[in-house]
Amino acid sequence: MAKLYFSYASMNAGKSTLLLQASYNYQERGMRTVILIAAFDDRAGRGRIASRIGLEADAVPFEPDEDLFARISAMVSEGPLACIFVDEAQFLTENQVWQLARVADRLKIPVMAYGLRTDFQGKLFQGSAALLAIADELREVRTICHCGRKATMVARLDEAGDIIRHGAQVEVGGNEKYVSYCRRHWEDKMNGADFT
């Protein structure tokens, strides 16, 4: 039975690396996979994903209003698909999460989504909230805070490296723009406290 999986973590936990490794494992056995990524996330180039450790792969860019069930159904007509992967799944809309659930339920293709759970203000992304609500399996991918505790939160930085407390929920970026903290140190940073 195909399932909808959501692997979530803070920044720099290796989500994209895990996605690329899992997709490669399928392909190595002669199975076809598709990797999806939000069209506006072009950090590695349009229709590409890249991990911090240097792994890269082509991906299919999608728009926020795109029907992913219809798109994947069309791909199936070109040949069998073993698995669908979604990088930066927090950028999915709620409707798209339900469309991916239909891919698992009706097309019987597993869907593995990887993304952030919360934004820099500690609030759920729309896609993450829907995935947390309806995914068949949830998997936490762990990374650590500078203190050694599990990092569950992410803070956004300005060009000078100072914490940003307000702004748009979605702003694509990597290590130059975001840093992961445990809850305690994230709260300290958001409240302007120095921490040890």
The model's pLDDT over 13-37, given as tens digits with 9 standing for 90+, comes to 778 889 999 999 999 999 999 999 9
173 domain residue, yes or no: no
* Number of compact structural domains in the chain: 1
What does the DSSP 8-state code read for residue 124? B
**Per-residue pLDDT tens over the stretch 74-83:** 999 999 999 9
93 domain residue, yes or no: yes
How many Å is the maximal CA-CA distance in the chain? 56
Assigned token pair, 129 = 């909230």
64 domain residue, yes or no: yes
Q: How far apart are CA 67 and CA 33, in angstroms?
A: 18
Domain of 107, in residue numbers: 4-142
Summary mean pLDDT of the chain:
86
Catalytic annotation, pick one of 88, 94, 140, 159: 88
**Per-residue pLDDT tens over the stretch 104-137:** 999 999 999 999 898 877 889 999 999 999 999 9
Q: Catalytic: 159?
A: no
> Which CATH number does the domain housing residue 63 bear?
3.40.50.300
87 domain residue, yes or no: yes
Q: What is the pTM of this model?
A: 0.82
Assigned token pair, 7 = 């692997």
188 domain residue, yes or no: no
Assigned token pair, 130 = 């829907």
* Residues 91 and 125: beta-carbon distance below 8 Å: yes
